[in-house]
Amino acid sequence: MLSEGMVDQNEKRPGAGPGGASLHEEVHRVYPVKVSPLFQRLMEKPGDPIWRQVMPDERELLDDGPLAMEDPLGEESRSPVPNLVHRYPDRVLWIVSHVCAVHCRFCTRKRRWTRPVPLTDGMTRAAEEYISATPAIRDVLLSGGDPLMLPLEKLHDLCARLRRIPHVRILRIGTRVPFAAPERVTDELVQVLRTHHPVYMNIHVNHPWEISPEAREACARLADAGIPLGSQTVLLKDVNDDPTVLEELFVELLSLRLRPYYLLQMDLMKSTAHFRTGIRDGLRILQRLRNRISGLALPQFVVDLPGGYGKVPLSPQAVERIEADRIVFRNYEGKACSYPLDDGEGPELAKLLGKEP
């Protein structure tokens, strides 16, 4: 699972797992650890905001209960051909790489870390044929893994195939590379992307410590090439669930010509419950930040609904009702979908959203 230049961190801690292995070794066996050289350098001590995102935690082996899912967004059931996810009418997500710069311990695709599905020539043809035969698809998001971990020739070929399909208007790339492995954002990469405009980039970044000088340079190269940049930030307990931290992050991102786009509530992924905040926490934070910082720096707070029903913004209009143990949303198709609440969260959440419980 490791790529050249990446560091496998198998930190040993007290405590034994099966066969006498340390708990962290056992976590590593189930959910392999991968840390880029830059992130390794950015970590200052165990438990800091970078460490928590990428280093193993024995809580990953705990049973998260009946709400935990292997595929929380229902991607496998919405794949008309392997590695292509069609959840919305006019766009698809194409998993084109199984390699990441780092393994985020809260990843929604942890199921693929030890069971990757590499993109074969046959899969590429099948995806291309499906997109070609579906005129409603105007927007293709390349995802992974990380598309920017692909060889340049492969990335160029995939983009070129999509550009030959007349109804595909927009290409998007979802990546963590500019902050986790910015050395990959070379002049050659930027030139490849420039040839396929319009190309948009959604960059995953969660904490101000990730904004290194190298990351600033990578973002500048991409922005100078005319690539609109947006960020996606996952709200993570004990990492960034603090208005001061997110204020610094969002304002700094805007200075990089990278507009904060989404603040994402944690998915109900198996092994990640220790990262999950209450929905009210994200609402409280954005309420604190509103008018304190520019509206350009405020992302939408969204829940990606369990089962693959799509993203909904956390606003009163998206909420149908609040019950003692769950919040019920209506998605873009008018379908109801529930998300679990923390104990005692319902009344305060109802007040924040102006909804009666």
Q: What is the DSSP string of 240-266?
A: T-SHHHHHHHHHHHHHTTEEEEEEEPP
88 among known catalytic residues: yes
Instruction: Give the three-class secondary structure for 86.
Output: strand
Does 337 belong to an annotated binding site?
no
H/E stretch holding 310: strand 310-313
Find the catalytic residue in 57, 71, 107, 241. 107
Residue 109 annotated to the active site: yes
**Considering 31, 52, 71, 87, which one is annotated as catalytic?**
87
Instruction: Out of 109, 172, 270, 276, pick the active-site residue.
Output: 109
**100 tagged catalytic:** yes
Catalytic residue, from 71, 146, 267, 281: name it: 267
- Taking CA atoms, 6 is separated from 9, 51, 56, 102, 147, in Å, by 10, 16, 16, 8, 16
Q: How far is residue 305's CA from residue 88's CA, in Å, rounded to a whole number?
A: 13
The annotation status of 219 as a binding-site residue, yes or no, is no
Number of Cβ within a 10 Å radius of residue 172: 21
185 in Cβ contact with 38 (< 8 Å): no
Q: Is 159 annotated as a binding residue?
A: no
Query: What does the DSSP assignment read for 116-143?
Result: -----HHHHHHHHHHHHT-TT--EEEEE
Work out the burial of residue 108: count CB atoms within 10 Å of its CB; fewer than 13 is exposed, 13-18 middle, 19 or more buried. Answer: buried
Q: How far apart are CA 2 and CA 319, in angstroms?
A: 42
Q: Please confirm, yes or no, whether 342 is among the known catalytic residues.
A: no
Give the pair of three-digit tokens for residue 77.
């059931």
Annotation says 309 is catalytic: no
Active site residue 87: yes
| Spatial strand order in the sheet of 336-340 | 319-322, 326-330, 336-340
| Annotated active-site residue in 270, 304, 309, 337 | 304
Q: Which of 71, 104, 159, 280 is catalytic?
A: 104
Q: Of 59, 88, 161, 200, which is the active-site residue?
A: 88
216 flagged as catalytic = no
Q: Which residues are catalytic?
A: 87-88, 91, 100, 104, 107, 109, 267, 304, 311
Q: Which residues are annotated as a binding site?
A: 100, 104, 107
Q: Which residues are annotated as a binding site for [4Fe-4S] cluster?
A: 100, 104, 107
